[in-house]
Amino acid sequence: MTIYTFEGKTPKVGEGTYISKSAEIIGDVTIGKNCFIGPGAKIKGDYGTIVIGDENSIQENCVLHARPGEVCRIGNRTTIGHGAIIHTCTVKDSAVIGMGAIVSDFAEIGVWGVVGEGCVVKNNQQIPGENIAVGIPAKIIGTVNEDYKTQWNKYKDIYVGLAKRYRDSLKSAE
């Protein structure tokens, strides 16, 4: 992993978090406990701040960034799918952001909000909790039910476990 101090700000990483060697974490970034940060992820707190809670999956080639003086905030147990771009927004607990999705400045994804693959959530757009949004621009098409939550909690647990497996496997290979 590559962790850079930028202008006196060094990323803080919680216990049990796995960060791939090819990920880059820069500057004013806080990452919680037991997170999985996949290969190629770029989390840049160069002129804004990034705050990531516990037990998150930030998958391969995701980009997280914030505008100058602003905060990009990720809650707990979120899934940020492969190649997603998350910029100066708020993604609340248990949300699922699909592969290749874009969540733009000052948008907010509510608790258990779902943003489908390739979806674009526009500046200042709100996706209320337990709603499913797809398309360009994002449009709400349904709600999250209990079966969905049960299924996705299993996936979220898999990534928490995967973070531990990667940490343990890579230690034994050194």
pLDDT in tens, 157-168: 999 999 989 888
**% of the chain with per-residue pLDDT over 90:** 91
Question: Which of 92, 44, 79 is CA-nearest to residue 158?
Answer: 79
Report residue 29's pLDDT band, with 50, 70 and 90 as the boundaries. Answer: very high
Domains detected in the chain: 2-173 (2.160.10.10)
Decide: residue 105, CB within 10 A, 0-12 exposed, 13-18 middle, 19+ buried: middle
Looking at residue 171, its pLDDT comes to 60
